[in-house]
Amino acid sequence: MVGAKEVLLAEPRGFCAGVDRAIEIVERALAKFGAPIYVRHEIVHNTFVVNDLKAKGAIFIEELDEVPPGATLIFSAHGVSKAVQQEAERRGFAIFDATCPLVTKVHVEVAKLAKEGYEFLMIGHKGHPEVEGTMGQLSEGIHLVEDEGDVAKVAPRQTEKLAVVTQTTLSVDDAAGIKAAIKARFPLVREPKQQDICYATQNRQDAVKVLAPQVDLVIVVGSPTSSNSNRLRELADRLGTPAYMVDNALELREEWFADAARVGLTAGASAPEVLVDEVIARIRQLGAVAVRKMDGIEETIKFPLPKGLKIDAATGLEIEVRKAPETGH
């Protein structure tokens, strides 16, 4: 039995800008308006984050009739359908939208092309809230494809004006395969100018591609509901390195490390670094003596908070911010 000797940390890993912003929106709403603050769906797909916010006074709901009149409601980072948005407005809640700006970008693109008469194929996972939100931007004319097999079965009403959109947290390689199948069947299909899969998903998958061949075992810190975390575990597995996903250090099993001298560690975009630190501490108990950071991309992107939640840390006063002009793309 060798046992773990070294931990190699993927770079980048963990929180992305959209997750950071979404959590901060809930925390600032709690600070400004007091508990309870209602959140539609888990703000991000991480058990630790959700439980932490629950303890601070956030109440997570799925249906809007669970929210009392006059309450403050936050939409999760995954985005919501037009129907949910309109229903929330009709009920008169004070609404803050924590939808990731990179998801909103896809919503805007769908609305714009729909006006031009396009139908859509959406690549994504059925039942995922982001997919429900994006597909729910339209009342019709958007078709879900989950894999290459679905491409053969999908039946749009016309093929001259067909566009592809995707969930932001897919496997980059899987999505490329599905897109190729779509192009083969619908040669005129329009693809987004920039891919819809976001920078954070891409960067974390790229880092695992570098990490996995250098280690005997990959541990991904992430919750079972987290799409992007699941994709990281799958990717390591496909590259031939045994890989496990854990919600926290308590889920690590000693036998995984028996023949793993070098352990690779990464975390999904919704997993806080404190959980990574706890996993490292546990792997040290199992014999690791060194922790090394891989070279990788440093992410500096930050997204602004919505109006009405910008508070000056020094004075506690709200900062009035004039909205910057929309950049066209």
Structure-block tokens of residue 20? 């950071």
pLDDT, mean of residues 85-99: 97
Last residue of a domain, one of 80, 100, 120: 100
Condensed to tens digits (0 to 9), the pLDDT of residues 204-231 reads 999 999 999 999 999 999 999 999 999 9
Does 130 qualify as catalytic in the annotation? yes
Q: What is the CATH number of the domain that holds 78?
A: 3.40.50.11270
Look up residue 306 and give its two tokens. 């919505």
- pLDDT tens sequence across 314-323: 555 554 443 4
**Structural domain tally of the chain?**
3
User: What would the two tokens of residue 304 be?
Assistant: 């602004």
192 within domain boundaries? no
156 and 168: one domain? yes
pLDDT digits (tens, 9 = 90+) for 156-190: 999 999 999 999 999 999 999 999 999 999 999 99
Residue 179: CA atoms inside 13 Å, Cβ hemisphere, count? 18
- The reply to whether 298 falls in a domain is no
Q: Crossing angle of helices 199-211/172-185, nearest 10°?
A: 120
The active-site residue, picked from 6, 119, 130, 132, is 130
Same domain, 71 and 149: no
- SS3 for 181? helix
Whether residue 272 sits in one domain with residue 203: yes
Residue 306 maps to a domain: no
| Segment 50-60, tens digit of pLDDT | 999 999 999 99
Give me the CATH number covering residue 265.
Answer: 3.40.1010.20
Print the domain residue range for 33: 17-100
* Domain end among 150, 185, 220: 185
Inside any domain, residue 320: no
